[in-house]
Structure 1
Amino acid sequence: MATDTTTSSPPPRRWPAVLTAERPRPEGIRSLPNGWWLAVGAVCFGAFMGQLDASIVTLTYGSLRTEFHASLAAVEWVSLAYLLTLVALLVPAGRLADAHGRKLLYLYGFAVFTLASAACGFAPSLTALVAFRVLQAAGAAMMQANSVALVTTSAPRRRMRSALGVQAAAQALGLALGPTVGGALVSTLGWRWVFWVNVPVGVLALVGGHYLLPRTRARTRVARFDWPGLFLLASATTTALLGVSAASGLPVPDWAVAVLFVVAASAGWGFVRRQRRTTAPLLDLTLLRVRAVAFGLVGALSGYLVLFGPLVLVPVVLTARGSSDLTAGLVLTALPAGFALAATGGDRLLPRGLPDRTRCLAGAGVFTLAVAGLLVAPLTIGALLPVLALTGLGLGMFTPANNAMIMGSIPARSSGTGGGLVNMTRGQGTALGVALVTLALHLAGSAGLPTGSRWAAAVLLAASAVAVGAAWLTPRTDPGTTHAAS
């Protein structure tokens, strides 16, 4: 009797396994010939919501200033706190996912993001809203650090570029719909619904991810987490972005801006030094010795700088010329629309066997020529529409191929870290695109908007040239790393 009772009872402390173990997909889904597309679709939920949230929140600034009686500089922290947290946590989240499971971290990230979104909608003060945005960014980091890795480990090697193109298109769609959806929600239901709209989508994504995402097969065990490395990385990225933002016109003394850059450089040097010496580094620096990874990350940063820079430049130029915010938003849609079209249709229009490096060069060449048009063409609606559309088409050709080269050069066991690197670089490119264009407009000062817009266009052209150079220096042969999913 005693023996039977002991045998039939569940093992002690079994319940934590439900929270820490990845569950496999149902056999019926796993055995589908093209079932990996279901996993890609599940990841696209996060890609869409991440970019929608990035572009939708700026529409709440006016309502937040009115409700909380706050200045614009204070309200901007609703976006700044999110961005700084996201950039700082992407690589650590990817590192943890490589050790404990990418599906697990992705689902927990969506749960945190969804709960924090609900909390943001109930925020009683601006301070509470900023705090909840930090929590929301922590969840977004867990999602975004694993999104690229989940796509690359789910898709067959020969279809990786197409899968990454669909994910990039989902991001572009979120970016394109953000201003329209945000304006509609704020004007009808109020600013709180900008955050509450994430909740039903988050619940659907959690259910879909549980059943559609594969378990992690290849893992990199971590003996201990590198907390000093995380502190140094967060300090470097945060102070660097704050320095650029402060130099763009924030009421901060010049000496404070200089101090921020010195701290950023010191923390960055300290981070690299620690990663070389510690036995359990946060970031495997040997990944950066692979040319396809190093130059690919440079290209990713430059590409997202070019993608997000016009989001600042175009509304400033058009509204100064008397156009409405709605008109400016509709004109801007040409950029992400072109991006989505090329990202999803590139494989159908270009030869299937065309190497990723060639695709990167072609895409970078297209958006470089388009951005050059900003220097010579009049900044009117008629001229901006084709320039933005061509810029988006070029970026849509460049980005999936560039990501495929990066992720194809990284071992499957480190794909979470690699995905975190890609997304961290995207975040830095996004921030630099906004900050450097704002800086160019600010430095033009009394010279006027036409001069400032040309300076901003010159910044975007320089970033485009860097992307071309990075693609040119990438190895000519595509890597053949094999990924496996279950």
Structure 2
Amino acid sequence: MSTVDPTRRPSLLDSRLLAEHPRPRSVAGWRHAHWLAVGTVCLGAFLGQLTASITALVFPELERAFDANFAAVEWVALAYLLVLVALLAPIGRLSDLVGRKTVYLGGFAVFALASLGAGLAGGLGTLVACRAVQAVGGAMMQANSVALVARGVPEHAMRTALGIQAAAQALGLALGPTLGGLLVQHLSWHWVFWINVPIGLLGIVAGWFLLPRTYPQGRPRRVGGDGGRFDLAGLLLLAGCSTALLLALSTASGLPLPAWAVAVLLLAAVLLALALARQEQRADRPLIPPGLINTPGIRTGLLVALVGYLLLFCPLVLGPVVLAGAGVPVATAGLVITALPAAFAVAATAGTGMLPDSWTDAARCRCGALVAALGLGLLTVLPTAPGVSVLPLVVAGYGLGLLLPANNALVMRAIPPASSAVGGGLVNMVRSLGTALGTALPVLGVHLAGPGAGGRSVLALLTLVALAAAALAGRVRTTAPRP
């Protein structure tokens, strides 16, 4: 029987603040209680994707409110994405130490407080800083959502639970543009951020009562002997490389930095990328395991995932600017842009049922990429008008909804079971990087050629990228490599 030393000072992990609290007995004893836990996780999934898609509708309004150019305003989105990429891995490991329920609920609190601050921001710099803090809360939720579902749901209900979570993400992604347009036109841009506050508070209350404890006694275990230290150097190099590349694109897009800064930042991005590759070869626990990345099929699958999310988010950022340049009201623009994520949501959750059962995931990838290329090509050549743009956006979104789930399934199937958590982290990482590039590319095109010609140039480039993705898609090996 273990004894407790009365003279020992309590550590941070032993504090009451971080100790996980159990659900009420009436909840824990109900045989369907695991669906209440899934619903709580769905709140976080919905909130994360709502934030991702709603922010683009506020860019034109922020330009006017802060008298800033598009290249500066885009950092309201980029700051969030960069911090998210940097923190997903370390917060996932911290959650093993502190407890996933504790970190998940803390994520709701940080997200809600940062959203309140973002709505109150009196300057663009303050708003960008609040968005960076908001990303801390987002990472705390995203790093734990799947693990909480796995912890709280019986094995036989796992696939259904993960499908419900994906549907919640799709709903947030689809609702964002419409809700953002209505809030900006009828209230103000502040409400695009304040809308997160009540959802965050609801998540805290629901999680406190409905999520099971991560550890049976409410105390986290001490993690040791895990094969090496966390790859902090790799994390810093990845964050530095991503930031330098996106800063270079922003400077080329009109960010008020000296012209020579573009070359310096691009050189820094290349050098940091080379240093990252070398670091990952030497690290005990590499952030980006070379053994997985160097497998041709997995490398190709991750590249297709990055391209897919770039294709998904680029029109979400570009569309409101192009439609605003054509004199379309912001609420109408939001409704039009919603067609893309709504079609993506339908295809991702139910669209594969419209394809032949005999088709492999590789065939579904190729089909999805070709359909997305068709939609983007139509957007390139058709007139910019609300009634005309809806159908091409639906086609593009539906194609991406077929492409990304099938490609991600191929990637995860090709990764050894022992590395599945690392593989999931890599997919999340390339998703965030693809989203960041999808935010930066439209800004560059609009800066160089204006909303009209620049928008069409970007769409033409996206069409070619989608065709390239169709050529690459499906080359992921369906048998896992040896560890």
What is the rounded CA distance, in whole Å, between the counterparts of 2:448 and 2:87 in structure 1?
A: 32
Q: 1:467 aligns with which of 469, 472, 479?
A: 469
Structure 2 partner of 1:400: 405
Aligned length: 471
What is the rounded CA distance, in whole Å, between the counterparts of 2:231 and 2:109 in structure 1?
A: 25
RCO higher in 1 or 2 (8 Å CA, sep ≥ 6)?
Answer: 1
1:78 maps onto 2:76 in alignment: yes
Contact 2:110-2:137 at 8 Å conserved across structures: yes
Output one character per residue of 1:124-179: Cα deviation in whole Å (capped at 9) or x when no partner: 65444333322111111222234455557777889877655544443333233333
Q: Secondary structure at the match of 1:374?
A: helix
The letter for the 2-side match of 1:462 is: L
Structure 1 partner of 2:105: 107
What is the rounded CA distance, in whole Å, between the counterparts of 1:161 and 1:359 in structure 2?
A: 20
Structure 2 partner of 1:118: 116
Larger displacement relative to structure 2 (273-282 or 89-98) = 89-98
1:331 maps onto 2:333 in alignment: no
What is the rounded CA distance, in whole Å, between the counterparts of 1:393 and 1:150 in structure 2?
A: 29
1:13 maps onto 2:7 in alignment: no
Larger displacement relative to structure 2 (352-361 or 332-341) = 352-361
The letter for the 2-side match of 1:368 is: A
The letter for the 1-side match of 2:81 is: L
Q: 2:317 aligns with which of 289, 312, 317?
A: 312
Output one character per residue of 1:74-133: Cα deviation in whole Å (capped at 9) or x when no partner: 554433322322233233334444666554443332232223223334446544433332
Structure 1 partner of 2:139: 141
Output one character per residue of 1:250-295: Cα deviation in whole Å (capped at 9) or x when no partner: 3433321111111111112112211221224334333324555433
Counterparts of 1:228-377 in structure 2, within 5 Å, are: 228-291=233-296, 293-346=298-351, 348-350=353-355, 355-377=360-382
Q: Secondary structure at the match of 1:249?
A: coil
What is the rounded CA distance, in whole Å, between the counterparts of 1:236 and 1:225 in structure 2?
A: 19
- Structure 1 residue 243: deviation in Å? 1.4
The letter for the 2-side match of 1:449 is: G
Q: 1:449 aligns with which of 428, 452, 470?
A: 452
Contact 2:112-2:200 at 8 Å conserved across structures: yes
Contact 1:371-1:391 at 8 Å conserved across structures: yes
Q: 2:41 aligns with which of 43, 50, 55?
A: 43
Larger displacement relative to structure 2 (424-433 or 289-298) = 289-298
Contact 1:95-1:282 at 8 Å conserved across structures: no
What is the rounded CA distance, in whole Å, between the counterparts of 1:355 and 1:267 in structure 2?
A: 38
What is the percentage of aligned positions where both structures have the same residue?
Answer: 51
What is the rounded CA distance, in whole Å, between the counterparts of 2:52 and 2:17 in structure 1?
A: 29
Could you tell me the TM-score, scaled by structure 2's length? Answer: 0.81
- Structure 1 residue 388: deviation in Å? 0.7
What is the rounded CA distance, in whole Å, between the counterparts of 2:37 and 2:230 in structure 1?
A: 29
What is the rounded CA distance, in whole Å, between the counterparts of 1:408 and 1:159 in structure 2?
A: 20
Structure 2 partner of 1:429: 434
- Structure 1 residue 235: deviation in Å? 0.4
- Structure 1 residue 338: deviation in Å? 0.6
The letter for the 1-side match of 2:452 is: L
- Structure 1 residue 319: deviation in Å? 3.4
Q: Secondary structure at the match of 2:473?
A: helix
Q: Structure 2 vs 1, CA of residues 106 and 286 (structure 1 numbering), >3 Å: closer, same or farther?
A: farther
User: Structure 1: any 5+ residue segments left out of the alignment?
Assistant: 1-5, 482-486
- Structure 1 residue 69: deviation in Å? 6.8
The letter for the 2-side match of 1:226 is: D
What is the rounded CA distance, in whole Å, between the counterparts of 2:304 and 2:26 in structure 1?
A: 40
Q: Structure 2 vs 1, CA of residues 401 and 223 (structure 1 numbering), >3 Å: closer, same or farther?
A: same
User: Structure 2: any 5+ residue segments left out of the alignment?
Assistant: none
Contact 2:176-2:338 at 8 Å conserved across structures: no
What is the rounded CA distance, in whole Å, between the counterparts of 2:83 and 2:458 in structure 1?
A: 27
Contact 2:72-2:250 at 8 Å conserved across structures: no
Larger displacement relative to structure 2 (121-130 or 251-260) = 121-130
Could you tell me the TM-score, scaled by structure 1's length? Answer: 0.81
What is the rounded CA distance, in whole Å, between the counterparts of 1:254 and 1:301 in structure 2?
A: 29
Q: Structure 2 vs 1, CA of residues 124 and 314 (structure 1 numbering), >3 Å: closer, same or farther?
A: closer
Q: Secondary structure at the match of 2:327?
A: coil
- Structure 1 residue 198: deviation in Å? 1.7
Q: Structure 2 vs 1, CA of residues 300 and 152 (structure 1 numbering), >3 Å: closer, same or farther?
A: farther
Q: Secondary structure at the match of 1:472?
A: coil
What is the rounded CA distance, in whole Å, between the counterparts of 2:297 and 2:152 in structure 1?
A: 21
Output one character per residue of 1:320-345: Cα deviation in whole Å (capped at 9) or x when no partner: 33333332222111111111111222
The letter for the 2-side match of 1:89 is: L
What is the rounded CA distance, in whole Å, between the counterparts of 2:150 and 2:365 in structure 1?
A: 18
The letter for the 1-side match of 2:110 is: V
- Structure 1 residue 48: deviation in Å? 1.7
What is the rounded CA distance, in whole Å, between the counterparts of 2:261 and 2:430 in structure 1?
A: 25
What is the rounded CA distance, in whole Å, between the counterparts of 2:133 and 2:199 in structure 1?
A: 18
